[in-house]
A and B are shown apart, each in its own frame.
Chain A
Amino acid sequence: MRNKIPKLPLIFFLIVLSVFLYLLLIERNPSDVPSAFLNKNFPKFETKSLFDKEKVISQNNLKDRIVLVNFFASWCKPCRDEHIYIKKISDNEKIKLIGINYKDNKSKAQKWLKKYENPYSEVAIDKNGKIAIDWGVYGIPETFIINSKGIVKFRHVGPINEDIYKKIIFIIKSSE
């Protein structure tokens, strides 16, 4: 027993060290915070449309279908980088795309969508960022996938790249 005691701290230290090494080596972004809405109902909202001032966009526009909600802005460079993938996703007829235009100038946002093509079924205005806060958004662009039951199945902070695009397509297929 006496001989075993000095070995114990070493074993304990090695276990702790291997846990830390594992967390360092696995592919993860420690600053990527999981959404508080994951596997929960999406937050309700009601706002005006970017293209039709008479039209109201609300949670009712997100019902009974798989929906991709994308927070974007014309002043946001990463939004332009991911736009090609948003357009590719919009080719999939099973998914409805809702854009939420975050703290933007209305006419600049309209021109931006005209220039780079509008892949969204609806574009809602979030003039003061309140909707974004209600959705727990902290970095533009941000993308959510909601299944047909209104449950948030995925959230990505930052621009969509090839890997995230593939992941989104996989989630759309598995949410059907």
Chain B
Amino acid sequence: MKNNHILILILIFQVLCFNSYAVEPDEIFKNSAQETKARIIFKNIRCMVCQNQSIDDSSAPLAKDLRVIIRNKIKNGESEKEIYKFLTTRYGDYILLKPPFNKNTFALWLLPFIFFIFGLFFIFHHNKKFK
């Protein structure tokens, strides 16, 4: 019976445990299209202080500064590409949570496929051997 109560409590807390976002109410755009664009960009920008969070989730002062800069750029009509360029020229590709495919990142993108093909090759030969 006691265990059931604990289980119910855990479930209640799980339901109440929404994703927490660091974006403050005064930052939010009134224009919903601009707000959507901003949030998409925020989710793809790494917080350089926390490093494993996006600036959408981070409460670090630098993350807030970057959100404000990005919002101003959106307000001025800059494209996503221009905003990403602004950030990568200052912080490198590391600031992007989804790194682009280039000479520095090709191993990161291709190694999983190489491992997969190697695995398939091994399973194929292994099965053939035991037939």
Name the A residues within 8 Å of B88 (CB-CB): 36
Q: Is A20 engaged at the interface, CB distance under 8 Å to the other chain?
A: no
The residue that B91 contacts in the complex, of A2, A8, A136, A139, with Cβ under 8 A, is: A136
Where chain A touches its partner, the secondary structure class is loop
Where chain B touches its partner, the secondary structure class is helix
Q: Mark B27-59 against chain A: 1 for CB-CB distance below 8 A, else 0.
A: 000000000000000000000110100000000
Complex CA gap A12/B119 in Å reads: 11
Give A126-163 interface residues, CB cut-off 8 Å to B.
128-129, 133-136, 138-139
Cβ B69 vs Cβ A133 within 8 A: yes
Cβ A129 vs Cβ B62 within 8 A: yes
Cβ A36 vs Cβ B126 within 8 A: no
Q: Which residue of B has the minimal Cβ distance to A2?
A: B129
Knowing A5-B125, A36-B88, the reply to whether A133 touches B65 (Cβ < 8 A) is: yes
Complex CA gap A128/B65 in Å reads: 9
Name the B residues within 8 Å of A34 (CB-CB): 92
Q: Is B84 engaged at the interface, CB distance under 8 Å to the other chain?
A: no
Cβ B129 vs Cβ A5 within 8 A: yes
Cβ B49 vs Cβ A33 within 8 A: no
Cβ B92 vs Cβ A36 within 8 A: yes
Give B113-131 interface residues, CB cut-off 8 Å to A.
118, 122, 125-126, 129
Name the A residues within 8 Å of B118 (CB-CB): 9, 12
Q: How far is the CB of B45 from chain A (nearest CB, A)?
A: 12
Cβ B51 vs Cβ A133 within 8 A: no
Complex CA gap A12/B62 in Å reads: 42
Q: Mark A1-43 against chain B: 1 for CB-CB distance below 8 A, else 0.
A: 0100110110010000000000000000001011110000001
Cβ A135 vs Cβ B125 within 8 A: no
Q: Most chain-A CB neighbours within 10 Å: which of B65, B90, B92, B126?
A: B90
Q: How far is the CB of B95 from chain A (nearest CB, A)?
A: 9
Complex CA gap A36/B95 in Å reads: 10
Q: How far is the CB of B103 from chain A (nearest CB, A)?
A: 15
Q: Can you name 7 extra interface pairs (CB under 8 A) apart from A5-B122, A129-B62, A133-B62?
A: A5-B129, A6-B126, A9-B122, A12-B118, A31-B51, A36-B90, A128-B65
Interface CB pairs A-B, < 8 A, 6? A5-B122, A6-B126, A36-B90, A129-B62, A133-B65, A139-B49
